[in-house]
Amino acid sequence: MSLSIAIMEGDGIGPEVMRAAYPVIEAVSERFGIELRLENADAGDRVKSGTGAALPERSLDVIRSSDACLKAPVGQCAAEVIVKLRQMLDLYANIRPAKNLPGVASPFGDVDLVIVRENTEDLYRGMEFEFEGGAIALRLITRKATAKVAEYASKLAAGRNRGKRVTCVHKSNVLRFTDGLFSRTCRETVAKFGDVLYDEMLVDAAAMNLVRNPGAFDVIVTSNLYGDILSDEAAQIAGGLGFAPSGNIGEANAIFEPVHGSAFDIAGHDVANPVALILSSAMMFRHLGMKKAAGEYLLAADAIESAVSALLSKGIRTPDAGGTCSTSQFGSTVAQAIRVAPVAP
């Protein structure tokens, strides 16, 4: 079975962390007999300065026609790239897991949650207007988009061994119509999944409880803005943005990317942490394995995650996590670990 993967190298540390992911992808391709075709779909500040467009039409066409896209962070024009792609391709669910990794410092030892963020609506629609002395932003929440993301969260919770619980985060005590619709739709949708528990939490309380008792959460479903904020908080609780992968999921397309930004201040020094992008590639293979019922893709995802965990537990880390390994060395070491790992019985 052949896979077409669109590759977006991005800006700042983007090309460096992507180059660290290449040998990992190649290793699982060889190990599990996955035929891959990688196609450039570059976008971002650098591309815009050369072409005038942050997201060229050719890159959009490549992403549309691919099985999935692996994206590194872009710079200042992120809204012109990933926010635009989420809306154009209806990548309705943004999946952001936060989980303790071996050897990665965290004040908590029981972090294993997933934030499912509605990805196409809310204030991120960009419907803003200025008037003399002020400005207005329109917030869009629809039943259709909310139901889709709540259903995804329910299916995810049903398949996890963490209590099978969905927590809907909102602020309907103040935003009675928009968040009221969101919470009501989530409640009705999750109720269709009889084995999934459901509760609700106001967003300020959720922010507090994430730093008080993150182990109590399983799957959080929330709107676009709240999810953006809470997922960064959750990533930091689990060890930092450098270890946080994510996926943007739609019916026809999917884009996987690290949560962190382009970090121009350390670009070019071969010290950036590539774990988030490498784990995003594992999310990509797992998504494709479930979608296409392809066991070799699931094995590839397991192999990547196991190799990363093994290296981190041995103290093989980049400087941001207290190690001395370079960006490129980490990628090649993960790839080698995959190649020599024992074959599962």
Annotated catalytic, 71? Answer: no
Catalytic residue among 61, 110, 204, 292: 204
Catalytic residue among 71, 99, 164, 171: 171
**Token pair of 183, please?**
């919470």
The yes-or-no answer on residue 232 being catalytic is: yes
Cα distance between residue 205 and residue 183, in whole Å: 15
Based on the residue annotation, tell me whether 297 is a catalytic residue of this protein: no
Q: Which residues contact 291 (CB under 8 A, 6 or more apart)?
A: none
Question: What is each CA distance from 35 to 17, 227, 303, in whole angstroms?
Answer: 22, 35, 17
Distances (CA, A) of 98 to 221, 245, 248, 292: 14, 8, 15, 25
Q: Is 228 a catalytic residue?
A: yes
- Packing angle, helices 143-158 and 178-190, rounded to 10: 40
Q: Is the torsion defined by CA of 22, 25, 31, 37 positive or negative?
A: negative
Instruction: Name the active-site residue from 42, 45, 124, 164.
Output: 124
Is residue 280 helix, strand or coil? helix
Q: Is the distance from CB of 98 to CB of 201 less than 8 angstroms? A: no
Catalytic residue among 90, 232, 270, 320: 232
Decide if 110 is catalytic: no
Asked whether the CA dihedral 336, 38, 277, 115 is positive or negative, the reply is negative
Please state, in angstroms and rounded to a whole number, the distance separating the CA atoms of residues 84 and 80. Answer: 6
11 alpha-carbon distance from chain centroid: 18
Catalytic residue from among 42, 45, 122, 228: 228
Residue in the structure block whose two tokens are 């019922």: 293
User: Contact 98/237 with Cβ under 8 angstroms?
Assistant: yes
Backbone angles phi, psi at 180, to 5 degrees: -65, -45
Helices (H) and strands (E) counted in the chain, each on its own, are 12, 12
Task: Point out the residues that are catalytic.
Answer: 124, 171, 204, 228, 232
